[in-house]
Structure 1
Amino acid sequence: MTFQSDSQPKLTSAELASLWTDFLQNTMTRCIFTYFLKDVEDKDIRNIIQSAYTFSDENAKAISEFFSSEHIPLPVGFQDKDVNLNAPRLYSDLYMLFYIENTLKAGLISSGGALALCARSDIREFFSDSLFKTTRLYNQTVDQMASKGILVRAPYIEYPNEVDQVDSHKYLSGLSLFNKKRPLNAIEIAYLHTNIQTNLLGAKLALSFAQSSAQKNVQRYMLRGANISEKHIKLFTDILINNDIQPPISSDHAITDSTTPPFSDKLMMFHMSVISALGTGNYATAAAASQRSDLIVNYERLSAEIAEFAKDGADIMINNAWLEQPPTTTDKELLAKKKDKR
């Protein structure tokens, strides 16, 4: 996959940031899909994983070409040494499929966001192509989940009989002890459901990392992440139940009892930082879309908890020299001070 870059202007900060971020994430998922391919038994799921691996690999190589043509140092990202193909199976086939579905959901958001940020035609072409391929693979993955009976749909509600208008400021209230909370609307239900599903993935992934990491501080951090996800799942589930909505039950996407690390601690910690960032973004979007004040307050409170968790994770990564620094502008004040010392 080659994109024309001759006679193009220099990369903007937005284009550089988008490519840099995409490279790290694609080299990470390439390692994970390599490990999945070693163990997957279901032929249909194998085909999905192989397509996901090829997609990540091609994207990483295309970004390498962009960086090379611009004479920009290529990020280290993640390499063969970050995946242990001799490690026993850790994930069931169904968990792999569930993981890829959620990874592609994140890819739809990131590719679309990057496309909106970029101006150079070849970079827009790259992210347009990425968005198209992500959409196609996502649809194939969801169809496969449906065929295997593990697709968890959002709750159903009755169709409205008429168009209605909000006629009271009480519609926005959810914190008052003296007013009964109004029923959840479809938008609020949709985001509660989505955040339950993403936390289910995060909880399982964190537990798998905790049981396979050899470092005590990484183990503790992953267990803390799993506990946070489980607490958030319970809160969102209780909100639905208290509104007489039964949350759809997810199939048990199993992890085995293997304690041999399939991935480096660097990769596992980076993965949790990505999940934390996605969680914060999901909650921010949900808060903006929700109209009941209690939901907004909950999303803001939980976002703060995730931010604190992410900060502690970044500290672990910095202490172990695992955190790559994004491209940054020159510190002009520091340059001036160095010049004065000459």
Structure 2
Amino acid sequence: MNERKIYLTSSEISSLWTAYMNDSMSKCVLGFMLKDIKDEEMKIAIQSAYDISASHLEQLTTIFQRENYAIPKGFTEQDVNMNAPWLLTDTFCLTYVNHMARVGMISYAGFVAMSFREDICNYFSQCLNETNQLYSQSLRIASSKGLNARAPYIEVPKETDFVNNKKYMSGLNPFSEKRPLNAVEISYLYMNIMTNVMGVKLCLAFAQTSPSKEVQDFMLRGKNISQKHIKIFVDILLKDDIEAPHVPDTSVSDSTTKTFSDKLMMFHMSLISAAGIGNYATASAASQRNDLAINYQRLSLEVARLAKSGADIMIKNNWLEQPPGIKDREKLAKNKEKS
């Protein structure tokens, strides 16, 4: 007797679609990085990341074909100019892989949690494990070369303590002294500084290589927002005499040759904007000083507005691929009546 077919759920369909889009983009970017990277150790990490994305695309294509699921357009070799000159430093490439691996681990953990079918759960669990290994590999290489920026050190607690005053949660009153930052708050400030540093460099690389004035202006706006957010977070740390992280040299070259398609660059920005909003939401929930929580919420709105304007540009230029969804039943009925 044939086993009853278990159909994909909406969350599994969305997770598979998102994973394909992200991996097809990553393969293009990583393939270009491999062309020019000189450091052999760093190249190992970039190659690992490329191989993972290529393998994922093959596995996803097999799943799509088995389920009669239309394969997304995603991104192909047409979205990257492999003849473009050197654009990204070796250090940038390694830092990029480490950063995107962190984003990937968060995404894949969510995909596992939203999956129900055993084969889909197993696939995303495998992806999570591979991305975790890639993160560890890139971190190990960066550490061996003294390139990884560590979070600030604080004293190890010698005893437990409890909050005994509501003032612990305060911080909005400009006339009262704010309590010192705790370890959780320092951690999120540090992480958000690092992610915005990566955002600044990506925006610069994309702005100077895009032939579109509209895209250039969007990227420069993104760069300015990231720089503003970095300053806000650094100033908060400095008020408690905590040094800002020493960021490795993640610079870009002065190439202005078109390297990636505008469609790919805008999609990449939407991906890191979404990740940034998620980071800020988590940081806001975890921060116990209410001035920090409100700061994150305010800055999230600024990133959301940027993402909205980016989506408008993508729609205008027919670059925004639509995620799978249900049919508009009312529209179908009306069309039937007309016919």
Whether 1:237 and 2:234 are equivalent positions in the alignment is yes
Q: In 2, Cα distance between the equivalents of 1:25 and 1:7?
A: 32
3-state SS of paired residue (1:91) = coil
Same amino acid, percent of matched pairs: 52
Q: In 2, Cα distance between the equivalents of 1:33 and 1:70?
A: 29
Q: In 2, Cα distance between the equivalents of 1:337 and 1:252?
A: 59
| 2:337 alignment partner in structure 1 | 340
| 2:64 alignment partner in structure 1 | 67
Q: In 2, Cα distance between the equivalents of 1:169 and 1:75?
A: 52
Q: In 1, Cα distance between the equivalents of 2:67 and 2:248?
A: 47
Whether 1:99 and 2:96 are equivalent positions in the alignment is yes
| 1:149 alignment partner in structure 2 | 146
Q: Which of 119, 123, 128 in structure 1 is aligned with 2:125? A: 128
State whether residues 212 and 258 of structure 1, in contact with CA within 8 Å, keep that contact through their aligned partners in structure 2.
yes
Q: In 1, Cα distance between the equivalents of 2:295 and 2:11?
A: 32
Question: Where in structure 2 are the equivalents of 1:43-54 lying within 5 Å?
Answer: 43-54=40-51
3-state SS of paired residue (1:159) = coil
By how many angstroms is 1:8 displaced? 4.3
By how many angstroms is 1:251 displaced? 1.8
Q: In 2, Cα distance between the equivalents of 1:119 and 1:149?
A: 42
Q: Which of 113, 116, 120 in structure 2 is aligned with 1:119? A: 116
Whether 1:259 and 2:238 are equivalent positions in the alignment is no
| 1:307 alignment partner in structure 2 | 304
| 1:3 alignment partner in structure 2 | none
Q: In 2, Cα distance between the equivalents of 1:235 and 1:177?
A: 16
Q: In 1, Cα distance between the equivalents of 2:75 and 2:338?
A: 39
By how many angstroms is 1:329 displaced? 1.1
| Greater alpha carbon shift after TM alignment, 244-253 vs 280-289 | 244-253
| 2:272 alignment partner in structure 1 | 275
3-state SS of paired residue (1:261) = coil
Q: In 2, Cα distance between the equivalents of 1:8 and 1:174?
A: 56
By how many angstroms is 1:339 displaced? 2.8
By how many angstroms is 1:336 displaced? 2.4
| 1:292 alignment partner in structure 2 | 289
AA of the residue aligned to 1:190? S
Q: In 1, Cα distance between the equivalents of 2:134 and 2:205?
A: 25
Q: Which of 137, 143, 159 in structure 2 is aligned with 1:140? A: 137
AA of the residue aligned to 2:239? N
Q: In 2, Cα distance between the equivalents of 1:79 and 1:259?
A: 21
Q: Which of 202, 214, 219 in structure 2 is aligned with 1:217? A: 214
Whether 1:179 and 2:162 are equivalent positions in the alignment is no
By how many angstroms is 1:330 displaced? 1.5
Q: How far does the alpha carbon of each residue in 1:175-211 deviate from its partner, in whole angstroms, 9 at most, with x for none?
A: 0133211110000000000000000001000001000
Whether 1:170 and 2:179 are equivalent positions in the alignment is no
Q: In 2, Cα distance between the equivalents of 1:206 and 1:7?
A: 49
Q: In 1, Cα distance between the equivalents of 2:106 and 2:235?
A: 28
Q: How far does the alpha carbon of each residue in 1:243-279 deviate from its partner, in whole angstroms, 9 at most, with x for none?
A: 1111121122121000012111110010000011000
Q: In 2, Cα distance between the equivalents of 1:99 and 1:107?
A: 12
Q: In 1, Cα distance between the equivalents of 2:319 and 2:30?
A: 21
Q: In 2, Cα distance between the equivalents of 1:213 and 1:238?
A: 33
State whether residues 200 and 233 of structure 1, in contact with CA within 8 Å, keep that contact through their aligned partners in structure 2.
yes
State whether residues 8 and 120 of structure 1, in contact with CA within 8 Å, keep that contact through their aligned partners in structure 2.
no
| Contiguous gaps of at least 5 residues in structure 1 | 1-5
Q: In 1, Cα distance between the equivalents of 2:313 and 2:111?
A: 28
Q: How far does the alpha carbon of each residue in 1:94-121 deviate from its partner, in whole angstroms, 9 at most, with x for none?
A: 0000000000000100011100000000
Name the TM-score, length of structure 2 as normaliser: 0.98
Q: In 2, Cα distance between the equivalents of 1:261 and 1:35?
A: 12
Q: Across the two proteins, how many residue pairs are aligned to each other?
A: 337
Q: In 2, Cα distance between the equivalents of 1:331 and 1:68?
A: 25
Q: In 2, Cα distance between the equivalents of 1:228 and 1:302?
A: 9
AA of the residue aligned to 1:282? N
By how many angstroms is 1:69 displaced? 0.8
Q: In 1, Cα distance between the equivalents of 2:247 and 2:68?
A: 47
Q: In 2, Cα distance between the equivalents of 1:197 and 1:162?
A: 31
Q: In 1, Cα distance between the equivalents of 2:215 and 2:338?
A: 42
Q: In 2, Cα distance between the equivalents of 1:261 and 1:95?
A: 19
Structure 1 stretches of 4+ with a deviation exceeding 3 A read none
| 1:192 alignment partner in structure 2 | 189
Q: In 2, Cα distance between the equivalents of 1:7 and 1:105?
A: 38
By how many angstroms is 1:143 displaced? 0.4
By how many angstroms is 1:137 displaced? 1.2
AA of the residue aligned to 2:298? R
